[in-house]
A and B are shown apart, each in its own frame.
Chain A
Amino acid sequence: MTVVLETIDLTKRFAGIVAANNIALRIARGARHALIGPNGAGKTTLINLLTGVQRPTSGRILLDGEDISGLPTHERVGRGIVRTFQINQLFGDLTPLETLGLAVSERRGQGLDWWRIVGTRPDLITEAVEILERFRLTDVINERTAVLPYGKQRLLEIAVAIACRPRVLLLDEPAAGVPEDERHEILRAVAALPADVTVLLIEHDMDIVFSFADRISVLVSGALFAEGTPEEIARDPRVKAVYLGEEIVDA
């Protein structure tokens, strides 16, 4: 197993609480890794730390063995760590086409071109349109993102990330808030992610988690509680008690 992304004693303290507590997480290249845990366990915080949106209180983050803890978000994106957001973070005034075009052009380092009119690079547009087709967004390609149906916006969240050509993709509850009958669209998109992309998926829906993951980490109160294959996690009585138990009780 080659480790692509690794955290060493990663800790994040907010006033009063420890949202990430000495996390030592290792993600294998090409893995389908799921991160589960109750609400407020610190899952989103971990993604914020991995992507540089928040700075850790202590600890380090290694990408291919290299310390990236000090890099700003956009440089980590350049190195292939890309995320989606639990709560949509899209450009409401731009269209999906513009959003994707922008993401592709930034990835190619053409974001500072200020004398070229947008839409004059056929290969760039082809790539953007191709991704939009893959995520079944062609019918809304020129709509303002703000007016898109919620399900389409969730798809766009992932499509934008894919346009950045991630090596490690961090999906923060991609199906959150999507009605039951539209979930399959998201699931299909997640299942169809390129095999060479390493994926860390945060998800509450256990059906999705177990059908997707080849490895599962359980986070409880900011600390890694358990880790293993789906079978191991499903069998683990402690996990059942702390996490799955809660689900069952809820249901």
Chain B
Amino acid sequence: MTTPPSAVRSATEWLSARARWQPLEGLFWFSAFAAVFLFPERHLILTEIAWLGLFALSLDLILGYAGIISLGHAAFFGVGAYTAALLAKHEIINEPVLALLASGLVAMALGFVTSFLVLRGSDLTRLMVTLGVALLLRELANSFGWLTGGADGLQGVTIKPVFGIFRFDMFGHTGYVYSLSVLFILFLIARRLVNSPFGLSLLAVKGNPLRASAIGVSVDARMVAIYTVAAGYAGIAGALLAQTTAFASLEVFSFDRSADLLLVLIIGGAGYLYGGLIGAIIFKFMQDYLSVLTPQYWPFWIGLVLVVIVLVGRDRITTWTAPIRLFAARLDWRTFARREAAASKDQCQ
């Protein structure tokens, strides 16, 4: 039996459809970079959004793509933050970008080692194990006060100019451009990764590990790999925080941070990479707005939002944004053109 080339061509097109850039994506990044010029007075909060978005992107890689839930992702964030702060304070690596990479690598090493703890067990086990690791690290950082500054945090950190040229300023101008650029580059890499055969195998592992192994996928190895990569992303997010604020404290490891992160991803929706970024935008602006309005009730509002999302999304909270994504896909003229073609073909028959 021979397969007509047209069938292969259309199959190719369908397979690569996931990876195609949508117009809304272009708009998203254009706006993010336009904000550099349009909202200079908002650069501080935009910087926070950038590293929070990166942090949530990291969680999306393991939760949205590999199905590994975590309530202790701050472990990697915190290790990245302390590494970056320590490298700068002791002038071990002075150039921020290099220090950022080093922080990511340290977090990756920790991710690799701890990944073996999340291979087995139910979601509940994973929640507990990841939570435990983060608490453990917090206590470690606390007891090694001579190194980390203990409960006072790591004081007296000075971050040198990026590439030896761009100084960090108190308005967050450099900080935003720097964080956004890092986020954008890491996003491109993640986008490539999830649309690769490796990314597809992650979806398989998440969807049905039994079948995944039955087609020859080493489920454990794939989970270790993505957990390690995600840890690196989280570490870099933490390092961005440390570098843009020239400070690191025990709070980087806190339970609240891990829990908020899960909330950010749920707000934006997991499993399509933009969820973490959109969630970060909504979360930060809501926090900013509501905490000015009613400082003491901020957690109340967050709780309310969570309840609403869960009600709207029912049991599939991670995909409550699916209608929006469908809409976005419909905006893509290629999808549209293909639909039209298919429709007219149907009519002919």
The residues of B that contact A235 with a CB separation of less than 8 Å are: none
List A contacts of B216 (CB < 8 A): 74, 77-78, 103, 106-107, 111, 164
Q: Which of B206-244 contact A (CB under 8 A)?
A: 207-208, 210-219, 225
In contact, A125 and B12 (Cβ under 8 angstroms): yes
Smallest CB gap from A101: residue in B: B15
Q: Are B1 and A119 in contact (CB under 8 A)?
A: no
**Would you call A122 an interface residue if the criterion is a C-beta within 8 Å of the partner chain's C-beta atoms?**
yes
User: What B residues does A129 contact at CB under 8 A?
Assistant: 3, 7-8, 11
Contact with B along A61-85 (1 / 0, CB 8 A): 0000000000011100110001101
Contacts between the two chains (Cβ within 8 Å), count: 144
B192 within 8 A of partner (CB): yes
Known: A91-B207, A97-B15. A82 touches B214 (CB 8 A): yes
What's the least CB distance linking A65 to chain B, in Å? 22
- CB of B200 within 8 A of CB of A98, answer yes
Q: How far is the CB of B207 from chain A (nearest CB, A)?
A: 4
Q: Which of B3, B13, B208, B216 has the most CB of A within 10 A?
A: B216
Set of chain A residues within 8 Å of B204, measured between Cβ atoms: 91, 94, 99, 102
A89, B210: Cβ atoms closer than 8 Å: yes
Residues of A within 8 A of B217 (CB): 74, 106, 111
Interface residue? A198 (CB, 8 A)? no
A158 to chain B, nearest CB (A): 12
CB distance from B227 to the nearest CB of A (A): 14
Give residues 1-31 of B contacting A (CB, 8 Å). Answer: 1, 3, 7-8, 11-16, 18-19
Interface size of B by Cβ–Cβ distance < 8 Å?
36
Are A94 and B203 in contact, with the CB atoms below 8 A? yes
Q: B181-205, CB under 8 A of A: which get 1 and which 0?
A: 0000000000011011111110110
Q: A78-B216, A89-B214 are in contact. Are A111 and B207 (CB under 8 A)?
A: no
Q: Verify A120–B16 contact, CB threshold 8 A.
A: yes
Q: Are B3 and A126 in contact (CB under 8 A)?
A: yes
Closest to B192 in A: A115
B12 x A92 contact (CB < 8 A)? no
Partner of B195, one of A53, A102, A110, A118: A118
**Is the C-beta of A182 less than 8 angstroms from some C-beta in chain B?**
no
Rounded to whole angstroms, the CA-CA distance of A99 and B204 in the bound complex is 8
A57 within 8 A of B: no
Is the CB–CB distance between A93 and B201 below 8 Å?
Answer: no
A163–B16 Cα gap in the complex (Å)?
20
Most A CB contacts (10 A, CB to CB) among B16, B212, B215, B219 go to B215
Q: Does A58 contact B (CB under 8 A)?
A: no
Does any Cβ of B come within 8 Å of A51's Cβ? yes
Between A111, A129, A130, the greatest number of chain B beta carbons within 10 A of the residue's beta carbon is seen for A111
Q: How far is the CB of A70 from chain B (nearest CB, A)?
A: 15
Which residue in chain A gives the minimum CB-CB distance to B193?
Answer: A114
Cβ–Cβ < 8 Å partners of A119 in chain B: 11-16, 19
A138 and B7 contacting across the interface, CB-CB below 8 Å:
yes
Within 8 A of B (CB), among A111-168: 111-120, 122, 125-126, 128-130, 133-134, 138, 141-142, 160-161, 163-164
Q: Are A101 and B214 in contact (CB under 8 A)?
A: no
| A128–B213 touching, CB < 8 Å | no
| Contact status of A93 and B207, CB under 8 A, knowing A118-B15, A129-B11, A133-B3 | yes
Can you pick out 23 interface pairs between chain A and chain B where the beta carbons lie within 8 Å of each other?
A53-B210, A74-B213, A74-B216, A77-B213, A82-B215, A83-B214, A89-B211, A90-B211, A92-B208, A95-B14, A103-B215, A111-B216, A112-B197, A112-B225, A114-B193, A115-B192, A125-B11, A129-B7, A129-B11, A130-B3, A134-B1, A163-B215, A164-B215
Residues of A within 8 A of B (CB): 51, 53, 72-74, 77-78, 82-83, 85, 89-95, 97-99, 101-103, 105-107, 110-120, 122, 125-126, 128-130, 133-134, 138, 141-142, 160-161, 163-164
List 6 tightest A-B contacts by C-beta distance, closest first.
A119-B15, A119-B16, A77-B216, A114-B198, A89-B211, A73-B213
Chain B residues near A (Cβ < 8 Å): 1, 3, 7-8, 11-16, 18-19, 192-193, 195-201, 203-204, 207-208, 210-219, 225
- A94-B200, A97-B15 are known; give 4 further A-B pairs, CB within 8 A: A103-B215, A113-B198, A141-B11, A164-B216
